[in-house]
Amino acid sequence: MATVVVVGTQWGDEGKGKVTDYLAAKADIVVRYQGGNNAGHTVVVGEEVFRLHLIPSGILYPDKICVIGNGVVIDPAVLLQELDALAARGVPTARLVISERAHVILPYHRYLDELEEDRKGAGKIGTTRRGIGPAYVDKVGRVGIRMVDLLDPEVLRQKIRQNLEDKNRLFTRVFGAAPLDAEAVIRDYEHYAGRLAPLATDVSLLLNEAIEQGKNILFEGAQGTLLDVDHGTYPYVTSSNPTAAAAALGAGIGPTKIDRVVGVVKAYTTRVGEGPFPTELQGEMGDQIRERGGEYGTTTGRPRRCGWLDAAIVRYAARINGLDYLAVTKLDVLTGLDVVRICRAYRYRGQLLTDFPASLGVLAEVEPVYDELPGWKQDISGVRRYEDLPPQAKDYLERITELTGVPVALVGVGTRRSQMLARYDIFG
């Protein structure tokens, strides 16, 4: 039995959904512990493509319990849509439970996300505009509405009224925007409450009992290490902690209960939204990777910025998350290149930086120091064993381990379940 955390090591979209789906085959329970529907996790099962935003990727197996932990912010309308869309495609969803302590996203959070981004103009964060930041601000500001509140009509009514009184003042006086109608919001949320009530439970209790019973539990991180509000490229980050330690907080288990952490690494780097990106490729090479990798946002459809793999970032992620293994995805996308490059460190004003800097000013100025390796030409999408990869592809993976100190356990060579090469049994 083991508890395993899957985290993104870069700026999100590393393929966490696919890795979670792969590992979930051996799990009893799959848990989301932070973020919200800013996430977009793609899982391909047979001929079908699923894009999950809030529901853990384990839902695509008929027998896994899926859990949304207290650390997640839940937009009830989106959750219900996602449940209905899965049901319409024949996916049973009755095994989903959500934490009573999870905070709820309200229309005023989405509205504020829009207004703030628009006001910032060129200085915007480039958020998904799903209300994630404002919902976490209210949580920390102690005016959030939790699932338990949603289930108590009196409390819900009173809290929405109070909050909207304050927010409407902000909307009208600071932003010069229209106010929202409290009664309409209350009506909608009473309706959502009716449907979500049966799913709400004490998630911490459920998970700790499962750990006692020796169950396999998989924690599915959203976003990535560089989007972490503490450790990422602040302020160009999300408003939660995607990193591994947050799995304990966001699900109600002790840190001593986490056995292993797997970091998902895309074989190159992508980023959606604003902020510095040292290995970004602006020209033809960046466009080529974007097209070949299908690098368009799962949630917003925005083209993703693309660049070479940055091992300085992955090494940083290894330290922040305590990574035991790497899962390298999308290796197939690099097939056909004459050379592949990996950033091993940065040069800053003549000095070599081997550790990821805190200052965005420094990061904006650094020049990547690259290792150049020969590429491989053979199609690897049909390879099923690590040993059968071309030597150049294996060298590339080995260099990643050399530069990060973390062994590669899984290698993705395509979108399908079968297109994953395993070197170690992570639940083992």
Q: Which of residues 266-305 bind ligand IMO (CB under 6 A)?
A: 272-273, 298
The yes or no reply on residue 223 touching ligand IMO (CB under 6 A) is yes
Look-up of token digits 């009473």:
190
Q: Determine the interface stretch with ligand IMO among 4-12, 286-294, 350-358, 404-412 (rule: CB under 6 A).
A: 4-12
Contacted by 294, from Mg ion, ligand GDP, ligand IMO, none: CB < 5 to 8 Å by type = ligand GDP
Q: Which of residues 353-372 bind ligand GDP (CB under 6 A)?
A: none
The yes or no reply on residue 128 touching ligand GDP (CB under 6 A) is no
Shorter beta-carbon distance to ligand IMO: residue 125 or 217 = 125
Report the nearest approach of ligand IMO to the CB of residue 269 (Å). Answer: 12
Q: Could you tell me if residue 84 is left (phi over 0), alpha (psi between -120 and 50 degrees) or otherwise beta?
A: alpha
Q: Which of residues 268-327 bind Mg ion (CB under 5 A)?
A: 298
For the question of residue 103 being annotated catalytic, the response is no
Helix 107-120 × helix 153-169 angle, to 10°: 20
Report the nearest approach of ligand GDP to the CB of residue 410 (Å). Answer: 9
Q: Which of residues 319-338 bind ligand GDP (CB under 6 A)?
A: 329-330, 332-333
The yes or no reply on residue 415 touching ligand GDP (CB under 6 A) is yes
Sign of CA dihedral 398, 403, 404, 405: positive
The yes or no reply on residue 38 touching ligand IMO (CB under 6 A) is yes
Choose, by CB under 5 A, the member of 40, 69, 133, 293 that binds Mg ion.
40
Q: Determine the interface stretch with ligand GDP among 130-138, 156-164, 383-391, 412-420 (rule: CB under 6 A).
A: 412-420
The yes or no reply on residue 224 touching Mg ion (CB under 5 A) is no
Q: Which of residues 26-85 bind ligand GDP (CB under 6 A)?
A: 40-42, 44
Residues at the interface with ligand IMO (CB under 6 A): 8, 11-13, 38-41, 125-128, 130, 132-133, 222-224, 227, 236, 238-239, 272-273, 298
